[in-house]
Structure 1
Amino acid sequence: MNKQIPSSDSINTTCPYCGVGCGIEVKVDAKAQKLADIKVKVLGDKTHPANFGKLCVKGSAAGETLSFDGRMLAPQFKGKTVSWSSALNTVAEKFTQVIAEHGPDAVAFYVSGQFLTEDYYVANKLMKGFIGSANIDTNSRLCMASAVVGYKRAFGVDAVPCSYEDLELADLVVIVGSNTAWAHPIIYQRIAAAKKQRPSMKIVVVDPRQTATCDIADLHLAIAPGSDANLFNGLLASLGQNEALDEAFINNHTEGFKEAFSHAQILQGDIHRVAKECGLEVTQLQTFYRWVREHQKMVTLYSQGVNQSSSGVDKSNAIINVHLATGRIGQVGMGPFSITGQPNAMGGREVGGLANQLAAHMDFSNSEDIHRVARFWKAANMAQSNGLKAVDMFNAVATGKIKAIWIMNTNPVVSMPNANFVRQALQRCEMVVVSDCMQHTDTTEVADVLLPALTWGEIDGTVTNSERTISRQRAFMAGPENARADWWMLCEVAKRMGFVDAFDYQNVAQIFREHAALSGYQNNGTRDFDISGLARLSDEQYQQLTPMQWPVNVENPLGTKRLFSDGKFFTPSGKARCIAITPQAPRYKTDAQFPFVLNTGRYRDQWHSMTRTGKTAKLMAHRDEMQVEIHPHDAAEKGVVDGQLLCLQGKTGDYRLIARAQVSAKQRRGELFVPMHWNRQFASAGNVDALIPAVVDGLSGQPEFKHAVVNVQPFKSAWQGVIFSRQALKLEGIAYWNKVSGKDFSRYEIAMEQGKEALSLHELQAHLPTLFGAQNPSSEWLSYLDANQQQLRMAQLVDGQLQAVAFIALESHTLDRNWLGSLFAEPLAAQQRRFLLAGRNSGAKETGPTVCSCFGVGLNTIIEAIVSQQLSSAEQIGQALKAGTNCGSCVPELTEIIAQQQAKIKELTSA
């Protein structure tokens, strides 16, 4: 493994975050004397077709997440450091023993959409081809499995037909179940730029919540959760009623249309009925349906709001039906476009990383496909049928059917539904192997064997983005000395299990060539996924590979922008299938015990379980504490005020989530929204997926993360507080704590619950020095206790340098947290010391909560500029403060702030 500090040349790679797959140019500062000191400059790759040089704030800050802090630095077994040889032998021996005693279905792999394609390929080959089980599934099951099945039902294959440029060339873009502005910011910026250039372009957002994406919407359809299929069934019926169908396309290129249309006409043919089912006004539906009739160039962009449902496949097919019925597919500016959440969810689909797939878009339902893959791999022990999908897999772990599991590059104890059940299942499993780059995650806590993995910046391979573009992810620095690539670990275990010849790869280029060759093996145009044109790349050509959209073969040597332009599909008849859809309501209904619908999703600057984004203060600044969004009327009925701590409980058991209330009219009444990112590393009780029952779509196995039912109660605190500390704190016995990473410190928002043996302020005063590390003999202590006001404030200094400071009171403090955090950068000046326990710098202006993460611009600064300079647009704010001029992710919030200030001015004027 190369451990040399790299040169300062620019290296082109791809972003490690969402499925947009943005190109990144990395410039490495080679002046560092050791690897841990390497600094990099991250820029957008202007030549990459996904982003053309633009990056969101997560991508822009990727270089700030490269430190080795918190990294897993050595293989471990039962908590003790071991050699790589010992760890690999342990894994291979245990898997071999379990297979010999219980058969191949007693073992499993659970992998990740953040894998590189080459890692994915080797894992799939080992499990399905040589272990002989299909028990390999992926966290992509949680984000796009329903879209996969929807495409396969309609087209015969799992194929996204569109390109990103279709979103710019469409006259109507319908965004369904996606807060694109936060989840896929660069795609949002491309759509926003297209609309600015062509104001006649129409944008419709279909989402129960009013999200940042609605900033560019001409129409927001705040539908009732789960009613997407009703909406699109109604649209199909309306198109027929208004003679807006493409009869020629239907007759020549589809089958099943009559049944699908008849079904829609019977169930949702009455617009008044559809409006009631969807919780919309009839006039809103009329406008939407009219715009669809008037704009032939239409793209429907859909994501988790459609997929993460107990009827996600049907919702997907209801959307596709509309495109097939109007011939809006395979042409410029048209198509049903499922956008993925993870950087290589598509690559995982290509290699067969799902339990119900074979490699290269082949399928267990076709016996010849099984034999074909076995012949190509020379696999005598080829799996013959589907394996266990994610939820079923962990159920099998719980029952003991699966006795050994290897979890790679993912954190299922956080991300799976009914997450506490998954934790308990893994704790009972005979052998849990976890390969990860981080030492401490909720999942590594329950592992027997830990294997340190390389991560972004250190790994080499390919990824495929949501528009089928294959891009190179290139290493530009060495990782920790004992960390290894995932494909290498898999190959070494495979060799130790006796499969030496099949896994004797020397580099990732060799793996990629085999993957590409399999895609073209006995294909002859019968399968959509074909990159056989890349099967003969030399190692050097692989290193220089530029982004390319598949298929890439003899017929399309430079790649393919759109699929199905010729009206031919991969079904036995060659025609696309229209599917009759009967909309299904979500599994659970609200009742007196659980009166609220819970929806989950992403925050703008965070990624998954924050193992990477949680390391940088810039990305923690925008939303630094978990919040429960609740409608003002619901808050009033519950006696809840903004910023108050709330407790949520659901049908999954005793787990109680604690988070702060964010009162927002952007929520529908009776509905709550909670972000998905928090976990035991960042909060005491913040894992929202522990509240999500393991209800899945019967066809795709994808869980219903968008609709659980919960109750809400105020959290009754004995006292609340804020602690800033240079060292990590162990807060046992504190019911609520939330950790935020700063540059030189961590900040903890804390609360002690009433009736839970809460310490008094005098007891806290005695306890805090121990918590802070009072054993340091040079510590100087500043302390203030006001028994009447029930306030305690303490600070620890060493040689004039702030080590920790705490503010405790009956309720949360109004403090200048940004100023307090800045005091850790250097020894305290006399004035800073004077105002330290006041919690704010006298006379200084507070910047307020961060709005623009790229330039660190706070809310108060923006409001002051709007008022003093009479700013009236996001562009003017950008000119004055730079906010919104880099990645643009904060532009919707800037627009909202302006609107709020204008409303206040109008109210004052009218008064």
Structure 2
Amino acid sequence: MTEAGVRTTCPYCGVGCGVIARPDGSIVGDPEHPANRGRLCSKGSALAETLADEDRLTHPLLHGRRVSWNEALDLVAERFAAVIAEHGPDAVAFYVSGQCLTEDYYVANKLMKGFIGSANIDTNSRLCMASTVAGHGRAFGADVVPGIYDDLEEADLVVLVGSNAAWCHPVLHRRLLAAKARRGTRIVTIDPRRTAACEEADLHLALAPGSDVALLAGLIVHLADHDALDRAWLDAHASGLEETLATARTTAGDLDRVAAITGLARSDIALFYDWFATTPRTVTAFSQGVNQSSAGTDKVNAIINCHLATGRIGKPGAGPFSLTGQPNAMGGREVGGLANQLAAHGRFDDPIDVERVRAFWRAPNLATRPGLKAVEMFEAVRDGRIKALWIVATNPAASLPRAQRVREALEACPFVVVSDCWPTDTTALADLVLPAAGWGEKDGTVTNSERRLSRQRPFRKPPGEAKADWWILAQVARRMGWDEAFAWNGPAAIFREHATLSAMLNAGRRPFDLGALATLDSAAYDALEPCRWPLPAGAASEGGRLFAAGGFPTPDGRARLVPTPFRPPAQQPDAERPLLLNTGRVRDQWHTMTRTGRVPKLLAHIGAPTATLAPGDAARLGIADGGLVRLTSADGSLVLHAAVSATQREGEVFVPMHWTHAFASAGPVARLVGAACDPVSGQPELKATPVAAEPVAIRWRGLLLHRRPVAPAEPDIHWSRIPLARGHALELAGSGELPQGQALTAMAWRLLDVPAAADHLEVVDPGRRVWRFATLTSGRLEACLFLAAAGSAAPLPTRETLAGLLGGPVAEGARAALLAGRSAGCTDEGGRTVCACFSVGLATLRAAIVARRLTSIAELGSALRAGTGCGSCIPELREIIRDVHAAAAA
């Protein structure tokens, strides 16, 4: 720790931003970290607010009963050993996470593959990066990102494919926009939705879902037909061009064919092809819109094919670039965290790799074939093939496809262990819950999207008895009889072993090489600066761009262009389910909200799961903006609030993936998603599920504020929960008629769920069709509930109006104002939050634009600071400026 604080790494996306935890408790961007140079997104800026220990898991729990660590660890070792003895090693499984540090990942992988003897260890990275891993392997011979972040600033053309970088990787997006302003970089976005990233683009190609391969097939044909291939580079360094071109011509041999498949205008396609063909410095950055597809691996290879064909790889401002979803998805892949990998980029189909890992670990029982991938793993749990399961730092009951089947699998499994920091939908289904150390408490490394290792350093103690994941796993391994192989005294020792294995029998055979770091002592490990691999022993500097001069880790040293025939999404819309459901992220939330869902300002921009439809679809189906809509797929049904937006293509509906049963009555949208997977990578298709949509009438609305995180159990009450500084707010919508008289009062007090000894207040006004209730404990507001029937002339108060009173004293004279929905000193004049970094609301922005005659983002930033933080709100700020001035002109 320096005087400035502890330098560590953000726990969110794969950008890998450096942060500094200051002694005063604040957390700021690290200006010396090369990934972010001091910038943070809205989530990173709010990290300090996620560190409260409220609701943390602090002690091992067996069926809800507190037990000692010794009892818990002994039980895990005994139950796993018993299952292995009776049913074999493939009857157990681990499901881990891109939230794990590399050292945690290494221990889990060594235990399962090396000593238990099964490859049944997979990770939630299967849901975000598996298709990229497979595509890299097919093209390059190894899972390697050839470019670096600087390429985004040195390119003349950046193509964003299936990437809303403005919201999902905002720090990198700001670097890209700075380059655009400085040197005129063109930006093309390829995405069915008009996302925030499209607002800054020179061209947006709103292609039909799943048609990327056809568009890219047409591109490589155009490059060949317009003499834009680098034949000399191809002859020296790659193979497979002719087969790839033949397949591409069959798929999309001319613009008319491409236009028919993609739904794009011929002129837009031609413009994109011309820009790509004539711009040597081109980067194609891709993310989940490419990966989360039943044709994801082919999409990745179709992108790489175009770069190999033009020799645009490993050069400044040129190359295919995978934008990683999680903070340590790449670190997990380095240690073999996926079921089809071995440690240190080893492959099961390479006998040399198998023997190298076996010898290094001294593990005669090493697994020799791939294990079950995520979706098939949980099917094996459900049908009884897997009888003991350990889940670490992830929430599959909310995130995996067919989430209801996953819950059924967990309920049926004889022994489920979950290691986590907070209660989740998954911990609720565990036999044994183990309290894990969280961010700020863990010690280790992560690897970001440009192959850069950074340290995550602890700056606070874990609450209660929470322990590091590596320690928990190693303790179980030792109890299972493998004491010597798991006898590390800390993460530095694990890292040295990991780095040593990466260099073993390498000599340039594999780009992943940390040999230069294999002898770090604990002090040097603690002081390790961010560095990018390859880092072979004796390296004078960190690794840079790769493959410009060939040297691919394939048997003949050549890259492979891979034929990619076009396949539409696995499930197609039909008369019964005419819309395609797309799922994805929103700006201020992360995964299943176990961390971000506890920060009020991160739910101020988008506070509830919403189904967004195109205006034409909404009108045809009778669905109103702000109303309720029921979505039904072949696997489930849920009710959500509806939003109508021209950003959606007709025939599609978008729902965020973050909300769970802890935050909304709808529960996870994964309940609707089917189990179709890419045949190569095993990655599920999360962005193309056929659904039906129908309106659900809202009979009444309500607002419930409570000190505790209550959840209405009635099936016709639809709710979403938002944290407040001293409690929680629930927005309610009822699809059933309100009961009358005493039955309504009884329902209200049931929703309030407060002690009988509390002081109850109520105002019933059936004439105006409004009902108001509050409960006070020792004169302090414990909870309040406001109900209004549909068509009522009396509006509900907003949560901001009353949030300041929750948990505080309410004087006798203030009770009438409380029940009227008013609170002195608490206003909502800012309206919905637009800039989360500085909590600037919509009404405040509009008022300032009018009063000060503001016309630009820069003026708005100077006046209110809006947009000067992470910048992810800038596209919306630009829309607000346009709307205000358009309204004034009208």
Q: TM-score, normalised by structure 2?
A: 0.97
Q: Secondary structure at the match of 1:361?
A: coil
In structure 2, the residue matched to 1:52 is 37
Deviations 1:446-485 (A, max 9, x none): 1111111000000000000010000000000001121000
Query: Displacement, 1:788?
Result: 2.8
* Amino acid aligned to 2:37: F
Query: Displacement, 1:773?
Result: 5.0
Deviations 1:14-62 (A, max 9, x none): 0010010000011123xxxxxxxxxx11010011010000001100111
Which of 764, 768, 772 is the aligned partner of 2:752? 772
In structure 2, the residue matched to 1:567 is 550
In structure 2, the residue matched to 1:419 is 403
Does structure 1 residue 847 correspond to structure 2 residue 830?
Answer: yes
In structure 2, the residue matched to 1:165 is 150
Partner Cα separation in structure 2 for residue 627 and residue 558 of structure 1: 48
2:514, 2:537 within 8 Å by CA — same for their partners in 1?
no
Distance change (3 Å), C-alpha of 1:464 and 1:248: same
Q: Secondary structure at the match of 1:359?
A: coil
2:517, 2:537 within 8 Å by CA — same for their partners in 1?
no
Does structure 1 residue 541 correspond to structure 2 residue 524?
Answer: yes
Q: Secondary structure at the match of 1:625?
A: coil
In structure 1, the residue matched to 2:841 is 858
Partner Cα separation in structure 1 for residue 187 and residue 258 of structure 2: 21
Deviations 1:369-400 (A, max 9, x none): 11110000010111010011001111111111
Q: How does 1:760-799 map to 2 (within 5 A)?
A: 760=740, 762-769=742-749, 771-772=751-752, 774-775=754-755, 777=757, 779-799=758-778
Deviations 1:168-188 (A, max 9, x none): 110000000011111111011
In structure 1, the residue matched to 2:271 is 287
Query: Displacement, 1:365?
Result: 0.6
Query: Displacement, 1:771?
Result: 4.3
Q: Secondary structure at the match of 2:694?
A: strand
Which of 717, 722, 735 is the aligned partner of 1:740? 722
Q: Any gaps of 5 or more consecutive residues in structure 2?
A: none
Which of 722, 743, 764 is the aligned partner of 2:703? 722
2:580, 2:651 within 8 Å by CA — same for their partners in 1?
yes
In structure 1, the residue matched to 2:871 is 888
Distance change (3 Å), C-alpha of 1:108 and 1:663: same
In structure 1, the residue matched to 2:309 is 325
Distance change (3 Å), C-alpha of 1:774 and 1:320: closer
Does structure 1 residue 660 correspond to structure 2 residue 644?
Answer: no
1:330, 1:567 within 8 Å by CA — same for their partners in 2?
no
Query: Displacement, 1:877?
Result: 1.1
Query: Displacement, 1:264?
Result: 1.2
Which of 5, 10, 19 is the aligned partner of 2:14? 19
In structure 2, the residue matched to 1:112 is 97
Deviations 1:535-584 (A, max 9, x none): 00010000000000000113634211211132221111111100111010
Does structure 1 residue 408 correspond to structure 2 residue 392?
Answer: yes
Partner Cα separation in structure 1 for residue 563 and residue 755 of structure 2: 71
Does structure 1 residue 187 correspond to structure 2 residue 166?
Answer: no
Q: Secondary structure at the match of 2:112?
A: helix
Query: Displacement, 1:510?
Result: 0.1
2:787, 2:796 within 8 Å by CA — same for their partners in 1?
no
Which of 796, 813, 820 is the aligned partner of 1:838? 820
Does structure 1 residue 598 correspond to structure 2 residue 581?
Answer: yes
* Amino acid aligned to 1:392: E
* Amino acid aligned to 1:157: A
In structure 2, the residue matched to 1:759 is 739
Does structure 1 residue 360 correspond to structure 2 residue 341?
Answer: no
Q: Secondary structure at the match of 1:28?
A: coil
2:284, 2:303 within 8 Å by CA — same for their partners in 1?
yes
Distance change (3 Å), C-alpha of 1:892 and 1:256: same
Partner Cα separation in structure 2 for residue 81 and residue 509 of structure 1: 31
1:734, 1:751 within 8 Å by CA — same for their partners in 2?
no
1:253, 1:567 within 8 Å by CA — same for their partners in 2?
yes
Does structure 1 residue 705 correspond to structure 2 residue 705?
Answer: no
Q: TM-score, normalised by structure 1?
A: 0.95
Partner Cα separation in structure 2 for residue 621 and residue 133 of structure 1: 45
Partner Cα separation in structure 2 for residue 274 and residue 136 of structure 1: 40
Partner Cα separation in structure 1 for residue 362 and residue 144 of structure 2: 28
Partner Cα separation in structure 2 for residue 377 and residue 355 of structure 1: 18
In structure 2, the residue matched to 1:685 is 666
Which of 356, 368, 372 is the aligned partner of 2:356? 372
Query: Displacement, 1:842?
Result: 9.4
In structure 1, the residue matched to 2:257 is 273
In structure 2, the residue matched to 1:749 is 731
Partner Cα separation in structure 2 for residue 164 and residue 513 of structure 1: 27
In structure 1, the residue matched to 2:83 is 98
Query: Displacement, 1:657?
Result: 1.6
Distance change (3 Å), C-alpha of 1:63 and 1:842: closer
1:105, 1:402 within 8 Å by CA — same for their partners in 2?
yes
Partner Cα separation in structure 2 for residue 839 and residue 583 of structure 1: 58
Deviations 1:139-184 (A, max 9, x none): 0000010000101100011000011110011000000001111111
In structure 2, the residue matched to 1:178 is 163
Q: Secondary structure at the match of 1:765?
A: helix
In structure 1, the residue matched to 2:107 is 122
Deviations 1:474-522 (A, max 9, x none): 0000011210000001111001110010000100000000000000001
Query: Displacement, 1:683?
Result: 1.0
Q: Secondary structure at the match of 1:360?
A: coil
Deviations 1:183-224 (A, max 9, x none): 1110111111111112x2100000000011112100000010
Query: Displacement, 1:839?
Result: 2.8
2:29, 2:39 within 8 Å by CA — same for their partners in 1?
yes
1:116, 1:463 within 8 Å by CA — same for their partners in 2?
yes
Which of 460, 464, 471 is the aligned partner of 2:454? 471
Query: Displacement, 1:810?
Result: 2.0
* Amino acid aligned to 2:310: T
In structure 1, the residue matched to 2:193 is 209
Query: Displacement, 1:837?
Result: 3.0
Partner Cα separation in structure 2 for residue 793 and residue 18 of structure 1: 43
2:120, 2:377 within 8 Å by CA — same for their partners in 1?
yes
Which of 237, 244, 248 is the aligned partner of 2:228? 244
* Amino acid aligned to 1:442: D
Query: Displacement, 1:825?
Result: 6.8
Query: Displacement, 1:640?
Result: 1.5
Distance change (3 Å), C-alpha of 1:831 and 1:305: farther
In structure 2, the residue matched to 1:35 is none
In structure 1, the residue matched to 2:283 is 299
Q: Secondary structure at the match of 1:579?
A: coil
Partner Cα separation in structure 2 for residue 604 and residue 575 of structure 1: 40
* Amino acid aligned to 1:853: A
In structure 2, the residue matched to 1:518 is 501
Deviations 1:826-872 (A, max 9, x none): 43478865543333569967221110111111111111111121111
Query: Displacement, 1:770?
Result: 5.1
Query: Displacement, 1:793?
Result: 1.3
Query: Displacement, 1:353?
Result: 0.2
Structure 1 vs Structure 2: percent identity of aligned residues? 51
Deviations 1:756-813 (A, max 9, x none): xx63364232343454355364x44432222133211122234553222211122394
* Amino acid aligned to 1:759: P
Deviations 1:336-359 (A, max 9, x none): 001110000000000000000000
1:462, 1:472 within 8 Å by CA — same for their partners in 2?
yes
* Amino acid aligned to 2:752: F
Q: Secondary structure at the match of 1:93?
A: helix
Number of residues paired by the alignment? 885
